[in-house]
Structure 1
Amino acid sequence: MVGLAEHRMMSRGLDQLDEFRSEVELAFSFLAEDAGFADPELTEHGLLFRAAELDVDVWLLEGREPEVATRVAVVGRDGAKGRGAWLDGLYVAAGCGPAQDVPGSATTRRSTIKRVHQQAAALRRLMTHLSPAELSQLITRCTGVVT
């Protein structure tokens, strides 16, 4: 049986995740509107955006040091998700700027929302520099694995 205090903590966590998902859906809407991705799907830790060649996962990693994290993964011809890489690494490898442009630390509600928008801006910049095929090649180079 869950006590009242535990229920409030669980509800607060769910409220925070719901708010995070809403903010991600807004900030990353360019994926569905401009880049051919499907509407986002709920995941345990955030939202997943799917396209023919790429998946974009945006997570709220809770714990001692909460963090917003975005992972881009290659989707194979058979539709299976292949290797992926973190946005900050891809951003740097593509020459878009320093990793500091893609911060993850999200210790407050305000910083969480700010990180979502910073990561969306970084992904948008990355995707304007690289086609999906080029981004897939970059992921392969960054992970050292052929997909």
Structure 2
Amino acid sequence: MGIEFAFLVEDAGFSGAEQIDNGLVFHGAGLDVEVWFLDGHEPEVTTLVALVASDGVRSRGVWLDDLYVASGCGPAQDVPGSAPTRRATLKRVHQHAAALRRLMPQLLTAEGEQLIARCRQG
């Protein structure tokens, strides 16, 4: 499912997808993106974005839907999480990738750092 997020590597300079428990993490210059596929009682797809300082210290992350709304890209409904079936999971992955692609130009600037900081406070 990482192919939908290939733009992070190809266009934004992130390192390739690294497997983590229940998901993938992409490491970029000053930014980590984690995509989780949680298949518990209420299966969902969720994406977290976190700042990483130059010394490698990672800040508390912010959920993609919160960033998407705060940035003015669109409503939270554009980044749904619920994924009760395989088909729904694939659809959610596509939706999260599309939202992240739309948001990435802002995240890769100083404005992105401020946006993440604002979302962490709220």
Q: Give the TM-score normalised by structure 2.
A: 0.95
Provide the aligned length of Structure 1 versus Structure 2: 122
The C-alpha deviation readout for 1:55-92, integer Å capped at 9, x for no partner, is: 00000112111000000000011012112100000000
Q: 1:57 aligns with which of 34, 46, 56?
A: 34
Q: Please give the residue correspondences for 1:7-86 in structure 2 after superposition, counting only pairs within 5 Å.
A: 23=1, 25-86=2-63
Give a deviation string over 1:6-33, Cα, whole Å, max 9, x none.
xxxxxxxxxxxxxxxxx1x110000000
Structure 1 or 2, whichever has the larger Rg, is: 1
1:105–1:123 distance in 2 versus 1, CA, 3 Å? same
**8 Å contact from structure 1 (residues 52, 79) kept in 2:** no
C-alpha displacement of 1:49:
0.1
Q: In percent, how many aligned pairs have the same letter?
A: 62
Q: Give distance in 2, aligned partners of 1:59 and 1:130.
A: 20
What is the DSSP-based 3-state SS (H/G/I as helix, E as strand, rest coil) of the residue aligned with 2:80?
coil
Separation in 2 of the partners of 1:33 and 1:144?
32
Q: What are the Cα deviations for residues 90-111 of structure 1, in whole angstroms up to 9, with x where unaligned?
A: 0000000000000110000000
Alignment partner, residue 94 of structure 1: 71
Secondary structure of 1:103's aligned partner? coil
Task: State the shift of 1:130 in Å.
Answer: 4.3
Instruction: Specify every segment of 5 or more residues in structure 2 that has no aligned partner in the other structure, as ranges.
Output: none
Q: Which amino acid aligns with 2:65?
A: D
> Residue 61 of structure 2 aligns to which amino acid in structure 1?
G
For 2:106 and 2:114, the matched residues in 1 are separated by: 13
Deviation, structure 1 residue 45:
1.2
Q: Aligned with 2:59: secondary structure?
A: strand
Are the structure 2 counterparts of residues 97 and 115 from structure 1 closer, same or farther at C-alpha, using a change threshold of 3 Å? Answer: same
Report if the CA contact (8 A) 2:106-2:112 is conserved. Answer: no
Letter in 2 for 1:70: T
Q: What is aligned with 1:116?
A: 93
Letter in 2 for 1:84: G
